[in-house]
Homo-oligomer: A and B are copies of this chain.
Amino acid sequence: MAVSNSYVVIKAHIDGSPKESDFELKSESISLLLDSGSNDVILKNLYLSIDPYQLNRMKSQSSSQIYSTLAAAINPGEAINGYGVGEVLVSGNPEFQKGDLVVGLITWGEYSVIKPGGMLRKLELMGFPLSNHVGILGFSGLTAYAGFFEVCKPKKGEKVFVSAASGSVGNLVGQYAKLFGCYVVGCAGSKEKVELLKEKLGFDDAFNYKEQTDLKATLKRYFPDGIDIYFDNVGAEMQEAAIANMNLFGRVAICGVISEYTDSGRKAAPDMIDIVYRRIKIQGFLAADFLNVYADFISTTCDHLRAGKMHILEDISTGVESIPSSLIGLFRGHNVGKKMVQLSDT
């Protein structure tokens, strides 16, 4: 008994902006009969999270690749993994049974064969749809929660600026910050996204960065009393402008710098003299370092959701063949909220 598995690979390393021709759909046959003694788990993939960091793994060389399991290099022709949810079809692992819903590192395909030691755990739905577990209740949510509360250490009333604010992490940072009692301004790349931030997500204000020519002056207008916390998703000029408008003891949490991923020559050069005199702290982080707050994150977020206090923004494409365009779209600002691909019906 076997299934035909379509999956996505890269044809060559990608060092600039990704395009459709960089990817290829391959097909293989996967036997659903495990060898005797095998501890493999075979999944039907259901939802796959699409995240900007994957592009860094596809570069021809990245000094950072060695520093994180999540950032292990992706080689041409080889299967790609990413965060997602699936359903167990066959299990040689006593921890999982046929029919279990699981979350962890699955493949960019229709099926996953998870070897022992793969990052996988049983999923408790807790009354929320499957897709939520890939976004707001998954790593995007934890990134926003841990980054805001643990890295930024906010105080009520502080002024918070979020870039890529309609993105998977940014929209949640803004919502957490508002619920916590901060003043929140976000920036995004279209009029529609700006409206969404202000009208639906409750941001105090928002602007379209593409309409601005002088980002320092723009932020000065939106933050006449200065910025206390900058949640940086983009890097480059926006980071420089935010730091130039920062208050004493300001904090910058960086979970990604999407504008620098496709252009290695584009780098933030914040004013270090400001950083000294204003005692600014800049900190890079990954959500995986904050599993200690995972239980808090889940319970707080579920409470907010059940009370109708948080909005869920999901941007779902369908079918394995839509994975490349979904990734590409992240770098063109196509997504609104959490980008994911539904690979199969449950």
Residues on B with C-beta less than 8 A from A286 are 276-277, 279
- Contact of A272 (CB < 8 Å), options: B235, B248, B275: B235
Residues on B with C-beta less than 8 A from A64 are 273-274, 276-278
Contact with B along A205-228 (1 / 0, CB 8 A): 000000000000000000000000
Complex Cα–Cα for A281 and B285 (A):
9
Find residues 62-117 in chain A having any chain B CB closer than 8 Å to their own CB: 62-64, 67-68, 71
* Contact assessment for A272 and B260 in the assembled complex, using a CB-CB cutoff below 8 Å: yes
Shortest CB-to-CB span from A216 to chain B, Å, is 10
Interface presence of A35 (CB below 8 A): no
Contact with B along A241-271 (1 / 0, CB 8 A): 0001000100000111100110000011111
Complex Cα–Cα for A235 and B280 (A):
15
* Contact assessment for B260 and A267 in the assembled complex, using a CB-CB cutoff below 8 Å: no
* Contact assessment for A285 and B289 in the assembled complex, using a CB-CB cutoff below 8 Å: no
Interface presence of A49 (CB below 8 A): no
Q: How many copies does the complex hold?
A: 2
Tally of contact residues, A, Cβ under 8 A = 38
The closest CB in chain B to the CB of A66 belongs to: B277
* Contact assessment for B267 and A271 in the assembled complex, using a CB-CB cutoff below 8 Å: yes
* Contact assessment for B279 and A284 in the assembled complex, using a CB-CB cutoff below 8 Å: yes
Residues on B with C-beta less than 8 A from A280 are 283-284
Shortest CB-to-CB span from A63 to chain B, Å, is 7
* Contact assessment for B284 and A272 in the assembled complex, using a CB-CB cutoff below 8 Å: yes
* Contact assessment for B244 and A277 in the assembled complex, using a CB-CB cutoff below 8 Å: no
Evaluate whether A282 and B285 lie within 8 angstroms (CB atoms) in the complex, with A272-B260, A274-B64 already known.
no
Complex Cα–Cα for A260 and B271 (A):
9
* Contact assessment for A67 and B284 in the assembled complex, using a CB-CB cutoff below 8 Å: no
Interface presence of A131 (CB below 8 A): no
Residues on B with C-beta less than 8 A from A256 are 276
Some 14 contacts from A to B, beta carbons below 8 A apart, are A67-B248, A71-B277, A235-B272, A257-B272, A257-B273, A261-B273, A267-B271, A268-B272, A274-B284, A276-B284, A277-B286, A279-B285, A280-B283, A282-B283
